[in-house]
């Protein structure tokens, strides 16, 4: 043992005391084992060497052994050096002979206890001899030993390995002494401070770690607070300097720093009552607070002086920066307030409650903001543009970030507010703190806005100048970070002072206060802010305009001194951001690019351009237009620049001489261009390649941070760096592109990304996808922080948003199936975060393919996904699965709310549709899974199974709960609409599989599903009704348009999934038609009429795709069975008669006619008596729907072979009686047209007349008069029967010829209107010659039982309404004297005139104006053949001349005729009533004839 020394020297040959005890013989020096040599040449031996030589020669004697032990102990007590003994380090027990074996220790712990017991006994003996307490003696000896350990240090604050080994032994002894109350902590601390210069910081820390003496006890024992503060601060600084250079494990040095900081924070900011013991008041908190403040001051001073990378000061600041994260991790990582997260060592340190920790962070923030307040407000105004986030030292921004992590945004803003109100501040740190706050904590942005609003309100309420200064500085600082973070200064200034509700509008005093404040700022203002104040001046009442004028003059003078021209300011310049004033030429180039970009998005010339052309004419003409009209080779297809230039030219915004010079220069460039030149893009600017390098580097650093979860707090700061580099790539300052845009125009069918943005857009989208995959490799989306939201906000805050959306359109709509899994995941997450910011994004106008004009961004992205089968459908499934899963995981606390705000309900519905179609397992009922969330992790794997992931998401119980909400339900109608999108021939399902799928979807899923969940509630009628509605809506919607439209459908429509037609039940069709058409009945106008006509055309097309038997309805139960055709007859009489006729020829179109008779044949086939069934149906047609009979006559040439052929197959003899009548009517018409004699006309007469009408129309005879004269030679009876209806039908047809541009009903073409009129006149003349009342043609009513009823059900309503027009056009062809004598003529003429006036007032005569306007007036005709106005004027004059000449009987009933219409023409009404009154008076004075 090194601590054992011989204190006495014996002569050679003398026996020593222990020799006698041990039975040793006297030996000479040469015969003894080697030992030490004493003075005078005498040897001194170690006890262990003496025992080693005798132990094997002694026999075991218990009594002698005990006596020997006692003598040895007494010997050691008398001859021990305690200081050396405490430092003696023993090896663990081993095979060699040592003291441990002699005292029979069984373990290392027992060995330590034995050694401690031995040392304790020695200490008691020595204390007894010295007469001092053993505890004080032990403290002094341990302190001296500590001094020896720390002597000759190899490191300023750390121990060497040998020193650490000795100190460990010493600490073991000290712990033993403490355990046996043989150690005084206070004395020990006092002894340590006496050797303070030799004391190493690690030795002090290890005293604390091994619970020998706590750090706070040691610090409290120092008599001088200032000295101990300086000592500890210096050692901490040395520790930070040597942190990286230390060869020790980082755990030791970091644990030391962590423990010291936690101790200081605990003692400085925790109440004494929380410490659990009584301490001297104010001493320890003073020391702790002093050390923390000194360290913070060193950090701030070093940052202010400028740090060099690698310097000692830089190392200290960077090391001290890690302190804040260590403290924050106590709560953030463990989730338990006050818990100690020891990531550096295994020992247990002090526990800090959340309140003291918050106090410390808040105190540090206050000290940071108020340290060294040397800058004045004027300095801040001039220099704050240099204090933006990206220009602030990263260590200072890191300090702010770590402080804000423990403080809520509300607490941080409150702290800022209190500091600015109560203390002098360092404006540089205050404003850089504001930048960090709004950049790294998006939730604080609104708080800052509210704070500024309160400052402004308070400033104008109490005219407090400091509040105004603070508000302006904060707004400008926040605006420096771009529109994605805070509104631009120009926008804020306009919103605050540009309206009558501004802060300054309350009084004159407030106005004076504002302009005085702005005037005081002028000497220090940057030019950009002065320009804003002039371009967007405060709204000032006219009587105070002088105040504004004085300020404007002052600003103009200042700008002139700065050599800045107000006229040269850019149109879209944003003064909110750092940067020098651009040269006019370069600014104009940027303005041109911006204007063209906005023009592409909106289709309109931007408002700033129009304003500049008027109010800023010098800049517009001298700089903007020359930059726009740069000569270039023009492309064959005009690009955006060319279209923009043309729009300005048409608006007279380009001087003609300048435009002519531009055209000439472009023509010259065309002649001189090289053959390989690419026209149109030779001068287009693009992204500077040299600027892409820094952007790529910044994105690479961002991706590196993604791979380190411990660095996630730095992501927001790095995003600001990315935004700055992006500005450099775009070659402009950040500007709020979308602040003036309400929507973005984008062609979804042919999206185009501007060339100058292509590279940067792809770079950003690729970076986003890679960053997401990198982040998800370490932590799930919910723990990734706000980086993705910030990334998207940067994209949305630039002019890139339209290009981003166009690129997404290309990727999702056109290239979706070729995208890899990482791209799908990344783009899905991007779509989620675009939806998250939907409130700040403009809507998108996708062009003619959209059913609405503009839609929000989430709906636009959802519309890009195609459910068409094949690869597109599978991509739709993958994208929807990824988007829903990411959104669910990213916002896991409230997934339902996030899905509603971030994703379109259409996307969720498309996911359900794709799952039903592509994952057959989803159709089967199965128990849902109660997992914590969707399997996002599995989607990030390279071998992701998308169908399994979709099925797992589908089976989530929480997701099924979401689908119960109405907006996310895939209803029966939604499913039908998506199913119709599948084009025929593109469905990978076989016909059988598709039919099985439709069977399951309709009958097993949607039909039995309750109404509340989007089903039909078991109602088959509802299912068919919805199916019909969806079919009709789909085939009329623009989304069904493509270039492969079918001729069987209306223009603009296409065939969808035709298998759905067979799911219809026919007896529900007509009810749906009636309901839809009734809803359109109340609409008026040309557009409404066209809409109704299109709807009716769709009804007819749908009928044609249904089985023909649908038109005849169900068979009646009684025999003979006759179908009920009432619903179809009602549709024909009320709707098809007006719109779906064959060119107005009193006939339906060929397709619907043939379809009806196919149904008739099918009904006859199912009947027991086919002939009777056919006769019953056709008899009903004659009475209820005569238009079907005339239609059969019109298309008889193609209909007759079909009827005869099918009838022969029935095994019947001849045609049924009613069909034979139609055949006979046709034969009569043909014989009438031949030169042979005419056979008698069959009955009914109107059917024969219709057949004759169609026959005349087909043969197109030139001399209709010959045919009409032929009637005069016929026998009286048939002549009386047949001409009347035939002539009436012709008359109505001639009226129709003026309403449409189709064939006339007679033998005349459209261009030959005079011949048509002659034919009509000949028809009426024939009636007149036969003494038939032709005036009845113009008095048709529904009450007529004969021809009137039939004719009203044959002619379209619009033709019947135009009878007044025909009446007055035909009137000049008749003998006036003969017509006047007819007593009914006046009533007809007045009625026709009043109806003609009503037609003119209602605008219905415009349909014939164009046609009649081209008709020259016939030579010798007294009536004009011009416009309806001229006709109405002549008709009015005719009536006024006719009234006096009409006989008295003509005025009977004239009052009733004028009822309700007297105001149509007061003069005519007055003449009629005057004449009627005169006739009445004459009748009163006449003597009655009684006999």
Average pLDDT for residues 489-510, to the nearest whole number?
Answer: 89
Average pLDDT for residues 1045-1072, to the nearest whole number?
Answer: 54
Higher-scoring residue by pLDDT: 1349, 912: 912
Using 50, 70 and 90 to split pLDDT, how confident is the model at 328?
low
Q: State percent of the chain over pLDDT 70.
A: 73
Three-state SS for 1141?
strand
Distance CA 134, CA 336 (A): 44
pLDDT at 899 over 90: no
pLDDT at 1004 over 70: yes
Distance CA 22, CA 640 (A): 114
What is the pTM assigned to this prediction?
0.67
Using 50, 70 and 90 to split pLDDT, how confident is the model at 1295?
very low
Distance CA 745, CA 738 (A): 12
pLDDT tens for residues 799-828? Answer: 788 889 999 999 998 888 889 888 999 999
- 1352 touches 1360 (CB < 8 A): yes
Using 50, 70 and 90 to split pLDDT, how confident is the model at 737?
very low
- 1387 touches 1453 (CB < 8 A): yes
Query: Which residues contact residue 501 at a Cβ distance below 8 angstroms, ignoring those fewer than 6 apart?
Result: none
Average pLDDT for residues 1106-1130, to the nearest whole number?
Answer: 73
Structure tokens that stand for 1356 in this block:
């379209």
Can you name the residues that pair with 844 across neighbouring β-strands?
744, 855
pLDDT at 725 over 80: yes
Distance CA 868, CA 979 (A): 9
Least confident of 41-55, 554-568, 1238-1252: 41-55
- 240 touches 250 (CB < 8 A): no
Average pLDDT for residues 1094-1119, to the nearest whole number?
Answer: 77
Distance CA 1034, CA 1039 (A): 8
Average pLDDT for residues 602-614, to the nearest whole number?
Answer: 84
pLDDT tens for residues 417-467? Answer: 999 998 999 999 999 999 999 988 888 999 999 999 999 999 999 999 999
Instruction: Give the per-residue pLDDT at 77.
Output: 55
Least confident of 153-167, 978-992, 1269-1283: 1269-1283
Distances (CA, A) of 452 to 340, 348, 416, 524: 39, 46, 12, 22
Instruction: Give the per-residue pLDDT at 826.
Output: 93
Structure tokens that stand for 457 in this block:
């309100």
**Which secondary structure element, helix H or strand E, spans residue 373, and what is its range?**
none
User: Of the segments 20-29, 491-500, 561-570, 1410-1419, which one has the largest average pLDDT value?
Assistant: 491-500
Pair type for strands 43-44 and 843-845? unpaired
Distances (CA, A) of 133 to 83, 183, 256: 17, 10, 34
Structure tokens that stand for 285 in this block:
């908190």
Distance CA 560, CA 558 (A): 5
Distance CA 824, CA 192 (A): 66
Distance CA 862, CA 844 (A): 12
Higher-scoring residue by pLDDT: 281, 23: 281
Average pLDDT for residues 217-231, to the nearest whole number?
Answer: 87
- 881 touches 829 (CB < 8 A): no
Instruction: Give the per-residue pLDDT at 1281.
Output: 32
Instruction: Give the per-residue pLDDT at 13.
Output: 39
Average pLDDT for residues 1169-1178, to the nearest whole number?
Answer: 88
- 451 touches 417 (CB < 8 A): yes
The residue written with tokens 């009646």 in the block is 1116
Structure tokens that stand for 1038 in this block:
């623009």
Residue burial 1262-1283, b: 16+ Cβ < 10 Å; e: rest: eebeebbeebeebeeebbebbb
pLDDT at 345 over 70: no
Average pLDDT for residues 298-317, to the nearest whole number?
Answer: 87
Using 50, 70 and 90 to split pLDDT, how confident is the model at 108?
very low
pLDDT at 1056 over 80: no
**Which secondary structure element, helix H or strand E, spans residue 744, and what is its range?**
strand 743-745
Q: State percent of the chain over pLDDT 90.
A: 13
Query: Which residues contact residue 1238 at a Cβ distance below 8 angstroms, ignoring those fewer than 6 apart?
Result: 1228, 1231, 1232, 1270, 1274, 1278
- 1095 touches 1073 (CB < 8 A): no
Distance CA 1475, CA 1464 (A): 18
Distance CA 6, CA 259 (A): 45
**Which secondary structure element, helix H or strand E, spans residue 92, and what is its range?**
none
Higher-scoring residue by pLDDT: 90, 240: 240
Higher-scoring residue by pLDDT: 1491, 1360: 1360
Query: Which residues contact residue 1400 at a Cβ distance below 8 angstroms, ignoring those fewer than 6 apart?
Result: 1428, 1429, 1432
Residue 1146 backbone class (left: φ over 0; alpha: ψ -120 to 50; beta: rest): left
Instruction: Give the per-residue pLDDT at 1414.
Output: 42
Average pLDDT for residues 1370-1399, to the nearest whole number?
Answer: 80
Query: Which residues contact residue 1411 at a Cβ distance below 8 angstroms, ignoring those fewer than 6 apart?
Result: 1298, 1301, 1310, 1313
pLDDT tens for residues 871-894? Answer: 788 899 999 999 998 988 888 777
Distance CA 1039, CA 1272 (A): 60
Distance CA 264, CA 296 (A): 13
pLDDT at 100 over 50: no
**Which secondary structure element, helix H or strand E, spans residue 1454, and what is its range?**
helix 1454-1458
Average pLDDT for residues 282-311, to the nearest whole number?
Answer: 87
Structure tokens that stand for 1309 in this block:
């073409």
Distance CA 519, CA 529 (A): 12
Its sign, for the CA torsion 1439, 1442, 1448, 1450, is negative
What is the secondary structure of 1190-1238 as a DSSP string?
HHHHHTHHHHHHHHHHHHHHTT-SS--HHHHHHHHHHHHHHHHHSSSPP
Instruction: Give the per-residue pLDDT at 689.
Output: 63
Query: Which residues contact residue 415 at a Cβ distance below 8 angstroms, ignoring those fewer than 6 apart?
Result: 362, 365, 366, 407
Mean pLDDT estimate for the chain: 76
Instruction: Give the per-residue pLDDT at 777.
Output: 84
């Amino acid at each position: 043992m090194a601590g054992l020394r011989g204190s006495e020297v014996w002569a050679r040959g003398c026996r020593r005391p222990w020799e006698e005890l041990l039975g040793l013989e006297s030996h000479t020096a040469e015969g003894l084992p080697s030992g030490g040599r004493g003075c005078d040449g005498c040897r001194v031996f170690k006890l262990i060497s003496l025992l080693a030589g005798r132990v094997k020669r002694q026999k075991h004697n218990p009594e002698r052994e005990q006596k020997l032990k006692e003598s040895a102990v007494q010997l050691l007590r008398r001859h021990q050096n305690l200081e050396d003994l405490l430092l003696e380090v023993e090896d663990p027990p081993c095979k060699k002979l040592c003291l441990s074996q002699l005292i029979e220790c069984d373990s290392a712990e027992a060995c330590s206890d034995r050694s401690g017991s031995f040392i304790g006994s020695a200490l008691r003996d020595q204390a007894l001899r010295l007469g001092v307490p053993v505890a004080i003696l032990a403290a002094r000896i341990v302190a001296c030993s500590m001094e020896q350990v720390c002597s000759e240090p190899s490191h300023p604050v750390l121990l060497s390995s040998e020193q650490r080994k000795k100190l460990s032994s010493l600490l073991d002894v000290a712990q033993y002494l403490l355990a046996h109350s043989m150690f005084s902590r206070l004395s020990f601390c006092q002894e340590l401070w006496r050797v303070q210069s030799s004391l190493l910081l690690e030795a002090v820390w290890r005293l604390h770690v091994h619970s020998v003496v706590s750090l706070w006890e040691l610090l409290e024992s120092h008599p001088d607070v200032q000295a101990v503060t300086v000592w500890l601060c210096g050692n901490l600084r040395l520790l930070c300097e040597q942190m990286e250079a230390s060869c020790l494990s980082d755990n030791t040095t970091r644990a030391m720093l962590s423990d010291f900081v936690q101790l200081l924070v605990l003692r400085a900011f925790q109440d004494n009552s929380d410490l659990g013991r009584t301490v001297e008041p104010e001493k320890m908190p003073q020391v702790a607070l002093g050390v923390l403040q000194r360290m913070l001051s060193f950090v701030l001073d070093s940052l202010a002086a400028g740090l060099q990378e690698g310097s000692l000061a830089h190392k200290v600041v960077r090391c001290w920066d890690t302190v804040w994260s260590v403290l924050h991790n106590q709560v953030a990582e463990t989730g338990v307030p006050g818990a100690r997260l020891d990531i550096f060592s295994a020992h247990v340190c002090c526990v800090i409650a959340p309140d003291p920790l918050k106090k410390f962070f808040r105190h540090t923030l206050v000290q940071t903001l108020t340290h060294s307040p040397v800058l004045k407000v004027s300095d801040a105004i001039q220099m704050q543009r240099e204090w933006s986030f990206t220009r602030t030292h990263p260590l200072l921004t890191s300090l702010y970030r770590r402080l804000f992590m423990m403080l809520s945004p509300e607490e941080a803003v409150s702290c800022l507010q209190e500091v600015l109100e109560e203390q002098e501040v360092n404006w540089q740190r205050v404003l850089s703190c504001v930048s960090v706050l709004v950049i790294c904590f998006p939730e604080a942005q609104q708080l800052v806005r509210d704070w500024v609003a309160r400052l402004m309100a308070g400033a104008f309420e109490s005219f407090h100048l400091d509040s105004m200064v603070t508000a302006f500085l904060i707004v400008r600082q926040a605006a420096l970070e771009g529109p994605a973070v805070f509104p631009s200064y120009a926008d804020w200034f306009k919103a605050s002072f540009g309206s009558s509700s501004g802060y300054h509008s309350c009084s004159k005093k407030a106005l004076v206060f504002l302009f005085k404040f702005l005037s005081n700022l002028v000497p220090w203002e940057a030019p950009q802010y002065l320009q804003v104040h002039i371009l967007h001046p405060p709204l000032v009442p006219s009587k105070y305009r002088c105040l504004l004028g004085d300020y404007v003059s002052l600003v103009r003078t200042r700008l002139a001194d700065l050599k800045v021209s107000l006229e040269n300011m850019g149109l879209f310049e944003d003064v909110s951001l750092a940067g020098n004033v651009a040269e006019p030429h370069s600014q104009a180039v940027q303005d041109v690019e911006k204007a063209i970009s906005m023009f592409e998005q909106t289709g309109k010339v931007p408002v700033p351009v129009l304003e500049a052309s008027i109010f800023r004419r010098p800049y517009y003409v001298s700089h903007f237009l020359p930059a726009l009209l740069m000569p270039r080779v023009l492309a064959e297809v005009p690009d955006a620049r060319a279209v923009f230039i043309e729009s300005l030219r048409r608006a007279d915004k380009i001087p003609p001489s300048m435009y002519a010079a531009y055209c000439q220069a472009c023509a010259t460039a065309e002649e001189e261009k090289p053959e390989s030149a690419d026209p149109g893009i030779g001068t287009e600017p693009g992204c500077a390649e040299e600027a892409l390098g820094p952007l790529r580097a910044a994105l690479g650093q961002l991706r590196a941070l993604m791979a380190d979860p411990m660095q996630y707090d730095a992501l927001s700061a790095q995003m600001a760096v990315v935004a700055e580099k992006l500005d450099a790539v775009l070659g402009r300052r950040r500007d709020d592109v979308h602040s003036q845009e309400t929507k973005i125009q984008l062609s979804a069918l042919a999206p185009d990304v501007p060339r100058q943005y292509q590279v940067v857009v792809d770079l950003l989208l690729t970076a986003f996808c890679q960053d997401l995959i990198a982040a998800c490799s370490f932590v799930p989306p919910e723990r990734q922080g706000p980086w993705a939201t910030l990334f998207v906000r940067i994209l949305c805050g630039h002019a890139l948003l339209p290009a981003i959306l166009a690129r997404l359109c290309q990727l999702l709509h056109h290239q979706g199936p070729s995208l890899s899994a990482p791209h799908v995941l990344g783009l899905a997450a991007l779509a989620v975060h675009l939806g998250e910011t939907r409130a700040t994004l403009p809507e998108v106008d996708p062009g003619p393919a959209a059913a609405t004009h503009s839609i929000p961004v989430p709906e636009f992205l959802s519309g890009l996904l195609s459910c068409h089968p094949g690869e597109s459908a599978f991509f739709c499934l993958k994208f929807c699965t990824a988007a829903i899963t990411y959104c669910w995981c990213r916002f896991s606390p409230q997934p339902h709310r996030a899905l509603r705000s971030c994703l379109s309900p259409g996307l969720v519905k498309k996911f359900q549709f794709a799952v039903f179609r592509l994952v057959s397992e989803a159709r089967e009922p199965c128990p849902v899974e109660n997992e914590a969330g969707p399997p996002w992790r599995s989607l990030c794997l390279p071998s992701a199974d998308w169908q399994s992931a979709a099925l797992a998401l589908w089976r989530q119980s929480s997701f099924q709960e979401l689908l119960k909400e109405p907006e996310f339900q895939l209803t029966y109608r939604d499913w039908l609409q998506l199913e119709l999108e599948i084009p025929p021939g593109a469905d990978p399902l076989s016909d059988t599989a598709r039919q099985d799928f439709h069977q399951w979807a309709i009958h097993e899923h949607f039909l039995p599903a309750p109404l509340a969940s989007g089903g039909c509630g078991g109602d088959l009628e509802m299912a068919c009704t919805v199916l019909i509605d969806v079919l009709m809506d789909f085939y009329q919607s623009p989304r069904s348009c493509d270039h492969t439209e079918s001729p069987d459908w209306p223009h603009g429509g296409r065939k969808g999934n035709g298998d759905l037609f067979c799911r219809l039940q026919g007896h529900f069709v007509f009810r749906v038609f009636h309901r839809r058409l009734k809803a359109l009945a109340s609409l008026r106008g040309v557009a409404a009429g066209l809409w109704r006509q299109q709807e009716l055309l769709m009804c007819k097309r749908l009928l044609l795709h249904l089985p023909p038997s649908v038109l005849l309805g169900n068979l009646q139960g009684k025999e003979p069975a006759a179908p009920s055709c009432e619903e179809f007859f009602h549709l024909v009489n009320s709707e098809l008669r007006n719109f779906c006729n064959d060119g107005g020829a009193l006939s339906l179109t060929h397709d619907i006619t043939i379809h009806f008779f196919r149904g008739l044949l099918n009904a006859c086939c199912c009947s027991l008596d086919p002939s009777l069934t056919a006769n019953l149906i056709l008899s009903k047609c004659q009475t209820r729907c005569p238009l079907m009979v005339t239609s059969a006559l019109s298309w008889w040439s193609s209909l007759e072979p079909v009827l005869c052929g099918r009838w022969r197959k029935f095994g019947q003899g001849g045609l049924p009686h009613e069909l034979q009548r139609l055949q006979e009517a046709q034969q009569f018409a043909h014989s009438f047209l031949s030169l042979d004699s005419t056979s008698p006309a069959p009955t009914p007469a109107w059917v024969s007349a219709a057949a004759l009408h169609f026959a005349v129309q087909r043969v197109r005879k030139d001399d209709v008069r010959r045919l009409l004269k032929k009637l005069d030679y016929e026998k009286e009876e048939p002549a009386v029967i047949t001409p009347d209806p035939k002539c009436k039908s012709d008359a109505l047809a001639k009226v129709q010829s003026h309403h449409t541009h189709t064939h006339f009903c007679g033998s005349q073409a459209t261009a030959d209107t005079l011949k048509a009129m002659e034919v009509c006149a000949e028809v009426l003349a024939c009636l007149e010659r036969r003494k038939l009342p032709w005036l009845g043609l113009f008095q048709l009513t529904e009450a007529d039982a004969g021809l009137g009823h039939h004719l009203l059900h044959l002619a379209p309503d619009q033709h019947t309404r135009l009878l007044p027009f025909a009446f007055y056009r035909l009137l000049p062809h008749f003998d006036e004297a003969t017509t006047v004598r007819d007593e009914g003529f006046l009533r007809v003429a007045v009625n026709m005139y009043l109806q003609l006036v009503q037609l003119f007032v209602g605008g219905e005569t415009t349909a014939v104006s164009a046609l009649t306007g081209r008709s020259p007036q016939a030579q010798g005709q007294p009536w004009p053949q011009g416009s309806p106005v001229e006709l109405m004027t002549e008709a009015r004059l005719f009536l006024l001349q006719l009234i006096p000449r009409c006989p008295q009987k003509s005025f009977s009933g004239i009052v009733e005729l004028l009822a309700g219409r007297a105001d149509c023409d007061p003069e005519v009404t007055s003449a009629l009533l005057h004449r009627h009154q005169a006739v009445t008076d004459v009748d009163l004075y006449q003597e009655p004839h009684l006999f």
